[in-house]
Amino acid sequence: MSNLTAVRVHGNSKDSPAKIVFTGSKICGSGRFSNVYSTMMIVPEEMRVAIKNVWSTTEDARMQTEDCAEVQILSKLYHPAIANLLYYFTRDGDTESQKLHCLVLDFMPADMAKLRESGVKFDVLDAKVYSYQLFSAIAYLSSKNVVHMDVKPNNIVINHETGLLKLADFGNARRLDSEERRGPSYQVTRFYRPPELLFGCEHFTCAIDVWSVACVSFEFIANSTLFKARSTADQISLLIDVFGYPSDDDIKGMKIRRPRVGRKKARTIEKFTSNILDSVMYEMLNKTLVYNPTKRLSADEVLALPFYDAVRMRPPLKRSNGGSVPEIIVTYLQKKLAERLGNSREAH
């Protein structure tokens, strides 16, 4: 059993110290610079939570602050489709100079990658339910001038029984209203990395997340990775094969130099995927998977597409496990989308 003092993130006592007690920790995930544990919190309230331990390194200047960058960003976010930071605290690491930043988050049973590995196949309705929540998450991030920078199955946690999803792991996230809007192009896991980064662009926009979520949305339905190559060079060749050589307008929009690669005529996404999807899914992919980030639909615009009509139906449709489409999609996410679209029209 562990007793410690942490900082409360939300509520009336926000930023105040709180005594928390945990018991029965079990590791449930690990990365290069972090481990995630499932544990039962019994004080101040009884609930299962996830604790992410992030260790600072000399390689990342964004970790050399009292609060790591992930804490700084997550503490300003609150959305049903984003991992909720409840508390955070620091403790000493394995060496004198190492500090552990510990994030207490709401718990979800599995991530998308583990569900796929266990043999779970998502039907079309579930794919749309999860895709809708993902685009809702990055639409909210866009409204906060934040880009996640690493949307992939391992960073998408799901309660498949209830149909609820949360975008997690904000260790690579950037604030676009700061100097973090620029940086090295080697960002985002390769299979989900948009073309502007593959071609060397060092200017970050919310369109990065739109590309990644579109790729993941395909994966929910097809149960396979859309663009999968063994190296960055091969990934570029794959995109050239599908979309052709970028136009002058595309090159300008991506803020890159003219790529030194062979010129090919586009195969189209339909031919590349052997026309396995319906027309409304291809409409979504064709409006999000484009070279020029300024011409990709915004996340809000994607959410208004016919692809999600089934998610919006009232009464909610039944999912394959007998449960309904989560009520929060209608009662909260669609309401917030309507508000954002209304504000956008008024601004113009």
**How far apart are alpha carbons 185 and 139 in whole angstroms?**
22
Is residue 126 part of the annotated active site? The answer reads: no
Instruction: Compute the half-sphere exposure of residue 251: CA atoms within 13 Å on the CB side of its CA.
Output: 9
Q: Single out the catalytic residue among 111, 126, 150, 250.
A: 150
Decide: helix, strand or coil at residue 91: strand
In angstroms, the Cα distances linking 257 to 78, 127, 195, 208 are: 38, 37, 12, 18
In the 3-class helix/strand/coil scheme, how is 105-138 assigned residue by residue?
Answer: EECCCEEHHHHHHCCCCCCHHHHHHHHHHHHHHH
In order of 83, 138, 141, 293, the CA distances from 205 in angstroms are 21, 12, 11, 8
- Cα 75 to the center of its chain, rounded Å: 16
Residue 129 has φ and ψ, to the nearest 5°, of: -60, -45
- Residues with a catalytic annotation lie at 150
